[in-house]
Amino acid sequence: MATVEQDVSQLTEQRFRRMSFVGGDSLPPVDATGLPPGPGWPPLLQTAGLLRFRHRFHPYLHRKYGDVFTVRLVPSGRPLVFFTRPEHAKEIFAGDPEVFHAGKANAILGPIMGEHSLLLQDSSQHKRARKLLMPAFNGHALRDYESLVTELAREEVARWVPGTEFRSLDRMNALTLEVILRVVFGVTDEQRLAQLRPRVNKTVEISPAILLGWSYPKLQRFGPWKRTVQNQHELDALMYAEIRERRTAPDLAERTDVLSRLIRAGEDGAGQGDVLTDTELRDQLVTLLLAGHETTATALAWALHELGRDPAQLRRAQEAADAGDDAWLDAVMKESLRLHPVIPMVVRTLMKPATIGGIDLPAGATVGPSIIVTHSREDNHPDPDVFRPERFLDHNPPTNTWIPFGGGVRRCIGAGFSLMEGVAVLREVLTAYDVTAVGDDEPKVRNITSVPRRGSRIRVTAR
């Protein structure tokens, strides 16, 4: 008889086998005739440019080829067509979800996230999963989470040593990890937290080379790919244990963490008796981890960097924190996400031919707005290189010119959680400290996200 550990290991191995190839076998063949222009380099070089050098590659392609351009990706040179105008983004986000599949476009994340991930599902499966997850991220739920987020932020800030320089990204990553583990996963046992932290960090820190390697399953027997597989086995064992224990917890009905809410989702009527299996819960939790941990930490680190560079902006933000003016702190977070995109693009794979911006595109092509270019266009955001939170005060920029969370029916389900968390953390930092940025910084690629290359170094002094 198989043990629980063997069962979990088999689930992990099955996920790797099913999700190894980018896009899977269900993508239709692509007729590349008449696609928008793009570089003629080998697909491996174009893919490396897209993943590793995105902050130079996107603007370069925009300058060279105009508002619409094509890159070709491994393993077989499949086309990815980028759009950079808001009216094009509107068409993509409003596209028929039966035709515009986001799940297949995100397939490179499959071995880590799993086939049930909200980011990898399409059509009726995506609609079902989103319906079950939504109650855990509505306004009432966010208010329940805020007090614990504030408590964790206050504990983190209290450990800072005034007058010393440190990498704010490291501290924000540590803080948002605690938020994920305690507020989302609902883990309170210190022994399990100590086991989860390093394994979660190794998952978040996966490099673009590892992601590319999933297209070649034989690599999983070697070096960093082998270590990644082992880490996934260990993390899965911990997560399945937590899920199984939580289902029988005597206080399940009173718990407010995201995992407990998701376990209760069908029972509470949201799913009309439909419930998430252990494997579905695991996949959604890992999705929330990857989508909501380092992304929020990076936005916070860049926000502190920008405030630390501008005494006037810092004073204005501190006044907002002192007065409980969450609208201004929310604007600081949004401007940080605009000026320093954490995610480079939003993509969909066409299951049937479609027309976008007057361009006829074949089935099998992947399309999407470039967040990097969209956020830096002068016609979308005047003086785009200037940090200016007031862009988001009392109004928002024109539709589809600010898209860090995507758009349409696929807009990030955790957008509200991320902004709530960011505001709560900024409030605790700014009521306690003055912040000074130490040196300049620039983005570098880390897995699917972009982070400050030097960690957004800051110095704090008590107010």
Over residues 115-163, the pLDDT tens digits come to: 899 999 998 999 999 999 999 999 999 999 999 999 999 999 999 999 9
As a whole number of angstroms, the distance between CA 415 and CA 411 comes to 8
Strand pairing class (78-83; 366-369) = parallel
Q: How far apart are CA 29 and CA 146, in angstroms?
A: 47
Distance CA 159, CA 135 (A): 34
CA distance 368 to 332: 26
Give the mean pLDDT per block of 10 residues along the chain (463 residues): 68 78 58 92 92 94 98 88 98 96 80 89 92 93 95 98 97 96 93 94 78 70 85 94 95 95 75 80 92 92 98 98 98 98 95 96 95 98 97 91 96 96 98 98 87 97 97
Q: How far apart are CA 294 and CA 21, in angstroms?
A: 25
Q: What is the pLDDT of residue 423?
A: 98
The amino acid at 305 = H
3-class DSSP assignment, residue 273: coil
CB 105 within 8 A of CB 79: no
Which residues, including other chains, have CB under 8 Å from residue 44's CB and lie 6 or more apart?
Answer: 74
Let me know: does 427 contact 419? Beta carbons within 8 Å.
Answer: no
Alpha-helical segments (H) within 180-277: 190-204, 208-213, 223-247, 258-264
Q: Is the distance from CB of 362 to CB of 30 less than 8 angstroms?
A: yes
What is each CA distance from 264 to 3, 253, 268, 282, 344, in whole angstroms?
A: 27, 8, 6, 15, 35
Cα angle vertex 219, ends 104, 5, to 5°? 80
Cβ count within 10 A of residue 401: 18
- Write the CB contacts of 3 (distance below 8 Å, at least 6 apart in sequence): none
CA gap 317, 425 in Å, rounded: 12
Which domains does the chain possess? Answer: 4-462 (1.10.630.10)
Question: What residues contact 182, with CB distance under 8 A and at least 6 apart?
Answer: 148, 152, 188, 193, 257
122: left (phi over 0), alpha (psi -120 to 50) or beta: beta
- φ, ψ (nearest 5 deg) of residue 356: -130, 125
Q: How big is the CA angle at 61 (ends 42 and 374), to the nearest 5 degrees?
A: 135
Element (H, E) at 23: none
β-sheet bridge partners, residue 368: 82
Backbone angles phi, psi at 126, to 5 degrees: -65, -45
Q: Where are the beta strands (DSSP E) in 328-385?
A: 348-350, 354-356, 359-361, 366-369
Instruction: Tell me how far apart the alpha carbons of residues 269 and 22 are, in angstroms, rounded to a whole number.
Output: 36
